Amino acid sequence: MTVVIGTAGHIDHGKTALLRALTGIDADRLPEERRRGMTIDVGYAHLRLPDGADLDFVDVPGHDRLIGNMLVGAGEIDAALLVVAADDGPRAQTLEHLALLDGLEITQAVIALTKVDAVEPGRVTEVEGLIRAMLRGTSLESSPITRVSSIDGRGLAELTAALVDLRDRVLARSDRRAPDDPVRLSIDRSFVIKGRGAVVTGSLRGGRLERGALLRLVPTDRPVRARELQVHGGAVDALEGGGRVAINLAAIEAGDLPRGAILTTDPAVQASAALIAIVRSNPDAAGSGGLEKGATFRLHLGTEQVQATVGRGRADLVSLPDGGVGGQVARLRLARPIAVAAGDRFVLRRGGATGAVIGGEVVDPDPPAGPSRRRVEAGMLAALAATDPLEQARALVALHGLLDPRHLADGLGVDTRAGADVFGAADLGGMLVAAPIAAALDAEAIEAVAARASSVSAAGLSLAELRTRLVRLLRRLATVDERHAGGIVDALLAGLVADGRLERAGDRIHVPGRSAELPAALLAAMDRLERSLAMPAPPSLAEATRTSGCPPDGVRALESAGRIIRLDGDLAYAAATYRELADAALRMARTGALAPAAYRDATGTSRKYVMAILEDLDRRGILRRTPAGHLPGPRASALDGIGRTGR
């Protein structure tokens, strides 16, 4: 692993000159930088250590107007070299850079006290004391201070030794990566080399990257191939363990590779325009303060920066009772999608000399939306701050209501093979469904079937009707598409039958022991009749009964059980179909007065069916007729109860 060290410090305190003295490389690479004598954009250098290993340096600007560029460099470093000039002492950007490093929780650093050749020894001692006071209470508090001069070379050997020790401390604290671990690179530069195409640079994280590897560009989710790799200007076949790298990419333009985008093989990295994070502000850092609902900040994550706004919802910002000073869990809305993964560190910053600097960590890069968001309570949000990954996993399942197990495995590294109950969930259709939602579905299924026990159709519900009913309930409780909802409900019903809590005969679900209450031939005829009426323009009831062979007592049983809805003497619908048609009418009425012709076109039927349905919905109060058309009625919320019995 090659350790990446980021410089930090006030303008004109000698960061670039110090790197030049150490490495022989001028990190001021732009003509304007050389003309103005200051670093404007991020620059890079490397140092070959006495033991043959390399250190990579990211040189960042110190000017207050270029803090965004400073954070581009600081977002992807392992450690810091904080530079303070002995003549000036700590200044405004020294404090702000320190606050930003503290927010990113950079804990490993060396402090370089530069320009010691320009002042008396007493001043050097005085500034060293000021530095110690400045570091107190921050993540760099215990960092060593080395006195150095880029002019006469004083202290350069000692600084090199301190950097070797810094490298060793970083490696000792780093997680050991396996070669097959996912890789990730946040793009900090992209450009074109004539005859070679697009090139990007950045600090590599993760396992082993080989020439020719296929990577995923996020947030656009586009596959790209690494045609060539270069480290320190020389081509390599592979790079392992991290460090600065340049990648020549095939079949893509440099304009499609913006700063802040990520190249990765990690499935946990995704495009998101919202996230939930734990944030902590340090009152000892310059200009820091807590979050407030609706507040807007600049979010800096990796090499990306984007506007972020704290949510205004009742559970979008929660204080942590035991989270230390400034501990909060917040939902942040981003101005555009960025590449992000759980565990990413970031800082929030307000502009201006006294702007707040708040550090944070992403705990959910894909927060719940729709029905799942509406059921979120403050306690669910606070539970995400758990330090145990298993507890965090339980909190995520509770927050979302249902979750793909791969989300936990990829994002938290949790082993999901232990069983769904470990996460406070049920495994249904390959999804983890939070226990309260699974229990609600269980209860609804049992109640719906039991409600028929006293009717002539005590033999039970059709599987199609019960399935539709449960899918609708599930989609009210959690955000899920139709396909996944159907799979979850199918798995739930199969489990209830396997446990003996329900029984199934053909396509009927019934109370255990009640399947023989009606003759099998009659049940089959009733099922045929129900199916023949399950269309927007069904045949007449008389024709359907003849075709299905269903006798009058079977028709009455279907009506009594709510399985069919009769609109007039010879027009009837299967209940589930009628509810879908009624739901379509109500949706259209909510967007504007509904005209019969528009409803006819939407359903693909004729005026005969349309007028019968609209008149029936008017009678029920679900719609109300006006001169302009049909509008939602006073009992619109009763739509779901049409055809249901025992409710």
Q: Is 429's pLDDT higher than 80?
A: yes
**Gap between the Cα atoms of 209 and 246, Å rounded:** 12
pLDDT of residue 325: 47
pLDDT of residue 353: 47
Q: Is 553's pLDDT higher than 80?
A: no
Helix (H/G/I), strand (E/B), else coil: 30: coil
* Tens-place pLDDT, residues 513-534: 665 456 788 889 999 999 999 9
**Gap between the Cα atoms of 146 and 155, Å rounded:** 7
**Gap between the Cα atoms of 330 and 320, Å rounded:** 11
Phi, psi dihedral angles at 168 (to 5 degrees): -65, -35
pLDDT of residue 351: 62
Residue keyed to tokens 């004083």: 154
- pLDDT band (50, 70, 90) for residue 367: very high
Q: Where are the alpha helices (DSSP H) in 424-540?
A: 435-450, 463-477, 482-498, 520-532
Cβ-in-10-Å burial (0-12, 13-18, 19+) of 601 comes to exposed
Q: Is 316's pLDDT higher than 50?
A: yes
Instruction: Determine how many CB atoms are found less than 10 A away from the CB of residue 487.
Output: 16
pLDDT of residue 515: 55
**Gap between the Cα atoms of 360 and 328, Å rounded:** 9
First to last CA, the chain: 66
- The pLDDT mean for the chain works out to 85
- pLDDT band (50, 70, 90) for residue 64: very low
**C-alpha triplet 384, 389, 392: angle, nearest 5°:** 20
Q: Which residue has the higher pLDDT, 572 or 281?
A: 572
pLDDT of residue 92: 83
pLDDT of residue 31: 38
For residue 225, what are the β-bridge partners?
214, 250
pLDDT of residue 352: 52
pLDDT of residue 75: 58
Q: Is 123's pLDDT higher than 90?
A: yes
For residue 270, what are the β-bridge partners?
340
pLDDT of residue 525: 92
Phi, psi dihedral angles at 334 (to 5 degrees): -100, 150
Q: Which residue has the higher pLDDT, 532 or 376?
A: 532
Domains (range + CATH), the chain: 3-173 (3.40.50.300), 183-264 (2.40.30.10), 368-517 (no CATH), 528-647 (1.10.10.10)
**Gap between the Cα atoms of 566 and 533, Å rounded:** 10
In total, the chain counts a number of residues equal to: 647
**Gap between the Cα atoms of 413 and 50, Å rounded:** 38
Instruction: Determine how many CB atoms are found less than 10 A away from the CB of residue 213.
Output: 17
Share of the chain above pLDDT 70, in %: 88
Q: Is 107's pLDDT higher than 70?
A: yes
pLDDT of residue 38: 34
**Gap between the Cα atoms of 548 and 544, Å rounded:** 6
**Gap between the Cα atoms of 472 and 160, Å rounded:** 66
Which residue, among 345, 342, 330, 326, has the nearest Cα to 296 in the 3D structure? 330
Between the CA of residue 389 and those of 322, 341, 386, 416, 622, what are the distances in Å? 18, 15, 7, 12, 48
Region 293-310 average pLDDT:
91
Q: Is 561's pLDDT higher than 90?
A: no
Q: Is 440's pLDDT higher than 90?
A: yes
pLDDT of residue 512: 81
Residue keyed to tokens 């209830």: 496
Q: Alpha-carbon dihedral of residues 283, 284, 286, 288, nearest 10 degrees? A: -10
Q: Print the SS3 string covering 89-154.
A: CCCHHHHHHHHHHHHCCCCCEEEEEECHHHCCHHHHHHHHHHHHHHHCCCCCCCCCEEECCCCCCC
- Two tokens, residue 85: 């000039």
Between the CA of residue 321 and those of 285, 392, 515, 586, what are the distances in Å? 21, 17, 55, 46
pLDDT of residue 282: 60
pLDDT of residue 385: 86
Region 74-98 average pLDDT:
86
* Tens-place pLDDT, residues 465-515: 899 999 999 999 999 988 889 999 999 999 999 999 998 877 778 888 665
pLDDT of residue 387: 82
Share of the chain above pLDDT 90, in %: 45
pLDDT of residue 30: 39
* Tens-place pLDDT, residues 219-251: 999 999 999 999 888 899 998 877 888 999 998
* Tens-place pLDDT, residues 605-639: 999 999 999 999 999 899 999 999 999 998 888 77
Region 257-277 average pLDDT:
93
**Cβ pair 246, 201 in contact under 8 A:** yes
- pLDDT band (50, 70, 90) for residue 564: very high
